[in-house]
Chains A and B, each alone.
Chain A
């Protein structure tokens, strides 16, 4: 019965500063099966695959990778590719301007002598396309294919390298129903021809339909491995394993709850990405009351951050087709973040390094940059006043640094996050949007941020918390909305919400 394992990852532990992303993970894949890897965002799936493919090279993690019976030491992606392991990422890694055949053989060109043999390349690329059932001319540029077909080109590329193990990272997340079905069928065919597939996916319906084995990760640890033939692989059981964790004591309780009138409301917001023309927000409506924490839950790519950015002055330039933004009973159209700030809105971004902080500047600079007008005396910034303000916030929200002259880049993730929060508190907002406020920060700092959030709403502010971490949303919110595929798929009172209910809504429409 026991088939041989093509891959065994034994006791893999991978640490990042302040976070243990993988904790003694064991992961075994049989030869020629479809193995699905599921778990919440941040459970460690992607990290595990990065360890496997050599992105995190040998020596940066503990544990062994045994592939085809041998312990492997991958230092680059090229090392794992040479052994026949390929990853197909969510964001495709193709060259849009180059023809399909060049994409397929990029990096392992077919040569005759010292020259590339283009004729042979085109012919063989055609054969590869045949294998993935993509019937197009291999000489057209990749950008003319839709996302589903581009993915097929990626797979053709993997096949052209004689891969034995293909990892699909959420392959169907950006595909429509037909393309998804097509891809799943293709995976089955690959299995017939002896190729092993690992699929990371949030779409449990697809997982249960296709998987031979399902491994559930949670908080960087393996929870269970379910065999499709012998174990219970109902969606309920998988979800229970994905989220099952007690959330007592992790979240501080608010001493008093005074929820008031609706302060901020978004009505029927529909927007599309001007580049791809894809609708990213469909008829989104939600509101938040004074003194309330409203959670905005959903899986990655559900459109939560897009929603926040569109509301907060729309810096990305989405084409907003319809909808209203109402602040304290007044209709607003925010042309830029400054307008939104003036109306009383603030937005702590999800990506603090990317678009939140100015890392090469110090705490003082970052604390005051959004509200310098409050520090002006004439045309000059009153630096004494600025120092007082920055010191005050440093103390109030406990930013741990020797002084406010510390460069923000040298702070830990938790302290960087606090600097971001300080910056936005200093604009004295009525409504604060927190986008993934605790991503990548350690437990202690998380607790501090939760306490801070409670303090803010007790003082009458309103918070919209976007988070992928279910327990956090459930533990902190008074009310929550669930998004999926750019739509609000449900609204729940904190009292009625369970992780299973939310998960169901978040997967709905997928």
Chain B
């Protein structure tokens, strides 16, 4: 296995050098959060603000997950913002104007998202219209449909409790909270997450050793796990001390788990990376490139519909301004999360980290009451630095 014993320090240096790219976004996230914590005089890490950050980030996070697939395949989807706005508006119209049950309305809206994906995917893959053009047209179309849906009423206020809970409320606890105390279920979830993480890491390491693959040395392995566990427990504690885990975090967590599983464990995931890496080779290896790409567009628009639902829930209303520049946040999140501009490489978990980088900026700058114009400029600068750094390190790796 390890033919020579390296000192722990040397190993850390080597790891840092080899993985600087993947560590960079964590470092960036921590730095940004700390800057805001200090700048705001401790307001940033307040439990209420962390809950708020989760709720704020959720609608971008689900978009970033879908967008990562699209970007791995070397396509792009510019329409997601207005698709989210439009589908969110439809949900509100269904519930408020037609009295449709909130859960049924959600299902209908998700189905509409799927149809939109089917339409855009067909244009891109079957007719060969570039994704940029197809989804740019989609931007126009769904922007129009959004204002059409709200034309008569203007902003629609949503009052369904279950619907509003999605992005405003917290998971229930097993003990009642007459008096303030820690949210038990949230802490339990934190502990379960830590245990699951440790078990899966140990199993993966054992497997690697079995096949003589390279692994990091034990002290570093343990330190890494302790660090991650500490972060999970810290977040769990902060949330538990407030009102518990927000539903939005649960939803994002479930979507993230499904997509991580799909990308890393299934044929479909393999094919997505394969097509992104070399579509001709994938095709000649028997991969149905059109079908897989079609799937990615369907999943993207489905998630855009979910994003629309979360956003409408968050604002408790559907507005004609919903969806503006969501696609920019989603694309930026995915790229900051290390998705390769040249395709074939990318992870949904990292895209979520990217989302937190972007949304921490939004949240922190809002907290500091920085003018929106400056917010855009700062986001743009952070984004371009991240991608430039990524491109540089990728080149060096070759």
Interface residues of A (CB under 8 A from B): 312-313, 315, 336-338, 341, 347, 349, 354-361, 365, 369-370, 372-373, 376, 379-381, 383-384, 387, 391, 403, 405, 409, 423, 427
User: Does B52 touch A at the CB level, under 8 Å?
Assistant: no
User: Does B373 touch A at the CB level, under 8 Å?
Assistant: no
On whether the beta carbons of A387 and B211 are closer than 8 Å, the reply is yes
Expressed in whole angstroms, the minimum distance between the Cβ of A386 and any Cβ of chain B is 10
User: Does B31 touch A at the CB level, under 8 Å?
Assistant: no
On whether the beta carbons of B207 and A355 are closer than 8 Å, the reply is no
On whether the beta carbons of A358 and B281 are closer than 8 Å, the reply is yes
Expressed in whole angstroms, the minimum distance between the Cβ of A316 and any Cβ of chain B is 10
Partner of B285, one of A360, A370, A381: A370
Contact residues of B between 313 and 358, Cβ < 8 Å to A: 344-345
B283-296 contact mask (Cβ, 8 Å, vs A): 1 or 0: 11111100000000
Expressed in whole angstroms, the minimum distance between the Cβ of A174 and any Cβ of chain B is 23
| Contact A355-B288, Cβ < 8 Å, known A372-B267, A372-B270 | no
User: Does B2 touch A at the CB level, under 8 Å?
Assistant: no
On whether the beta carbons of A337 and B267 are closer than 8 Å, the reply is no
Partner of A369, one of B212, B265, B285: B285
Cα separation A188 to B330 with both chains bound (whole Å): 64
On whether the beta carbons of A337 and B283 are closer than 8 Å, the reply is yes
User: Does B273 touch A at the CB level, under 8 Å?
Assistant: yes
**Chain B residues within 8 Å of A383, by CB:** 207, 265
| Contact A369-B266, Cβ < 8 Å, known A361-B277, A403-B213 | no
User: Does B282 touch A at the CB level, under 8 Å?
Assistant: yes
On whether the beta carbons of A380 and B288 are closer than 8 Å, the reply is no
Partner of B273, one of A357, A361, A370: A361
Q: Interface residue tally of chain B, by bracket?
A: 20 to 34
User: Does B214 touch A at the CB level, under 8 Å?
Assistant: yes
Cα separation A387 to B209 with both chains bound (whole Å): 12
On whether the beta carbons of A373 and B267 are closer than 8 Å, the reply is yes
Cα separation A207 to B288 with both chains bound (whole Å): 47
Partner of B344, one of A315, A341, A358, A391: A358
Cα separation A356 to B281 with both chains bound (whole Å): 5
**Chain B residues within 8 Å of A360, by CB:** 277, 344-345
| Contact A337-B277, Cβ < 8 Å, known A373-B267, A376-B267 | no
Number of residue pairs spanning A and B whose beta carbons lie under 8 angstroms apart: 82
| Contact A336-B273, Cβ < 8 Å, known A355-B280, A357-B281, A358-B281 | no
| Contact A405-B284, Cβ < 8 Å, known A358-B277, A376-B267, A379-B266 | no
B286's nearest neighbour on chain A, judged by CB, is: A338
User: Does B274 touch A at the CB level, under 8 Å?
Assistant: yes
Partner of A337, one of B207, B266, B286: B286
A-B contact pairs, 22 of them (CB 8 A): A315-B280, A337-B283, A337-B285, A338-B286, A338-B288, A354-B281, A355-B278, A355-B281, A357-B278, A357-B281, A358-B273, A358-B274, A358-B278, A358-B344, A361-B274, A365-B270, A369-B282, A369-B285, A381-B266, A383-B207, A403-B212, A405-B214
On whether the beta carbons of B265 and A381 are closer than 8 Å, the reply is yes
Cα separation A102 to B212 with both chains bound (whole Å): 62
Cα separation A336 to B290 with both chains bound (whole Å): 12
8 additional contacts, CB 8 Å, given A338-B288, A360-B345?
Answer: A337-B285, A337-B286, A347-B284, A354-B280, A359-B278, A365-B270, A376-B267, A423-B285
Expressed in whole angstroms, the minimum distance between the Cβ of B398 and any Cβ of chain A is 8
Expressed in whole angstroms, the minimum distance between the Cβ of A382 and any Cβ of chain B is 10
Expressed in whole angstroms, the minimum distance between the Cβ of A421 and any Cβ of chain B is 13
Cα separation A405 to B287 with both chains bound (whole Å): 22
Cα separation A357 to B265 with both chains bound (whole Å): 21
**Chain A residues within 8 Å of B266, by CB:** 379-381
In the complex, which of the residues B266, B277, B345, B398 has the most CB atoms of chain A within 10 Å of its own CB atom? B277
Partner of B286, one of A356, A370, A380: A370
On whether the beta carbons of A349 and B282 are closer than 8 Å, the reply is no
Expressed in whole angstroms, the minimum distance between the Cβ of B74 and any Cβ of chain A is 12
B125-152 contact mask (Cβ, 8 Å, vs A): 1 or 0: 0000000000000000000000000000
On whether the beta carbons of B284 and A312 are closer than 8 Å, the reply is yes
A427's nearest neighbour on chain B, judged by CB, is: B286
On whether the beta carbons of B286 and A341 are closer than 8 Å, the reply is yes
**Chain B residues within 8 Å of A337, by CB:** 283-286
Cα separation A405 to B212 with both chains bound (whole Å): 11
Expressed in whole angstroms, the minimum distance between the Cβ of B209 and any Cβ of chain A is 12
A351's nearest neighbour on chain B, judged by CB, is: B280
A365's nearest neighbour on chain B, judged by CB, is: B270
**Chain B residues within 8 Å of A376, by CB:** 267
Return the 6 tightest CB-CB contacts between A and B, nearest first: A355-B280, A358-B277, A338-B286, A370-B285, A372-B267, A358-B278
**Chain A residues within 8 Å of B274, by CB:** 358, 361, 365, 369
B278's nearest neighbour on chain A, judged by CB, is: A358
Expressed in whole angstroms, the minimum distance between the Cβ of B10 and any Cβ of chain A is 20
On whether the beta carbons of B213 and A349 are closer than 8 Å, the reply is no
B239-271 contact mask (Cβ, 8 Å, vs A): 1 or 0: 000000000000000000000000001110010
Expressed in whole angstroms, the minimum distance between the Cβ of B97 and any Cβ of chain A is 41
**Chain B residues within 8 Å of A423, by CB:** 285
**Chain B residues within 8 Å of A372, by CB:** 267, 270
Cα separation A369 to B270 with both chains bound (whole Å): 7
**Chain A residues within 8 Å of B280, by CB:** 315, 354-355
Cα separation A289 to B37 with both chains bound (whole Å): 75
A357's nearest neighbour on chain B, judged by CB, is: B281
Partner of B211, one of A312, A354, A359, A391: A391
Expressed in whole angstroms, the minimum distance between the Cβ of B340 and any Cβ of chain A is 8
B203-232 contact mask (Cβ, 8 Å, vs A): 1 or 0: 000010001111000000000000000000
Expressed in whole angstroms, the minimum distance between the Cβ of A310 and any Cβ of chain B is 13
Partner of B267, one of A336, A381, A409: A381
Expressed in whole angstroms, the minimum distance between the Cβ of A357 and any Cβ of chain B is 6
**Chain B residues within 8 Å of A409, by CB:** 398
B345's nearest neighbour on chain A, judged by CB, is: A360
Expressed in whole angstroms, the minimum distance between the Cβ of A508 and any Cβ of chain B is 31
Cα separation A381 to B214 with both chains bound (whole Å): 22
Cα separation A349 to B212 with both chains bound (whole Å): 32
